[in-house]
Amino acid sequence: MGTDKAIVFGSSGGAIIGLELASTRPEVIDFLIAHEPGVIDLIAEPEGDKWSSFHRDIFTKSQHEGWQAALPAFMASLVNVPNAPYPPDLNARVEDVLEFFFKHEYMQFIHYIPDIERIRNNNVNMVVAIGKDSDGAYYVHASHALVSKLGCEKVEFPGHHDVSFWMPEEFANVIRLTLDQHGYKQRN
């Protein structure tokens, strides 16, 4: 893209990818916004074990009965996400990747443990974003644990875990505001 470093935004599994970049390739990141990464292995026991078991059960169901059978329980774990299908064009694209996600990515994301020491030593400029309406979701507990371990700033975003699909303008605005507040003024 013509620059040496990028501003990285990732939500959920994308936030986990951002954390891995912060650990292994910090030279490519200028700023990271990690929105509700589900790093459940950072959640204290017994809640962490409960959520790990929950996700193992979903994974097992997906492998034996297909992703269609596993998806309702997974979606039910997302706090305050509307119980409605995604917009039709998005729904078709999401369905195309769900089988791959459950077979190859799901458990990798669920059991990802960020290298806290390395991320801190890499001095990556970052914030962890948490949705205002995500309430006590497991990924909120995980995000709080991550903030505590990294010593980075926590910022509040509007809505819930999948807010970008339902409130795209509000979501984009808070990303812009977060960047502005951290010295990344928009270039016209």
Residue at token pair 């030279």? 27
Residue 86 has pLDDT above 70, yes or no: no
Name the pLDDT band for 145 (thresholds 50, 70, 90): very high
Confidence band of 1 (pLDDT split at 50, 70, 90) = low
Nearest-angstrom CA–CA distance, 184 and 134: 27
Predicted model pTM = 0.89
Phi and psi at 47, nearest 5°, equal: -60, -40
Average pLDDT on 26-40 reads: 95
Task: Mean pLDDT check: name the lowest of 1-15, 54-68, 159-173.
Answer: 159-173
Contact residues for 34 (Cβ-Cβ < 8 A; gap 6+)? 10, 15, 18, 19, 126, 127, 128, 129, 143, 146
pLDDT one-digit tens code per residue, 115-144: 999 999 999 999 999 999 888 899 999 999
Q: Where are the alpha helices (DSSP H) in 66-167?
A: 67-76, 88-100, 106-110, 116-122, 138-150, 163-166
The dotted CATH code for 6-181 is: 3.40.50.1820
pLDDT at 188: 43
For the cut 60, the answer to whether the pLDDT of residue 149 exceeds it is yes
The pLDDT of residue 109 is above 70: yes
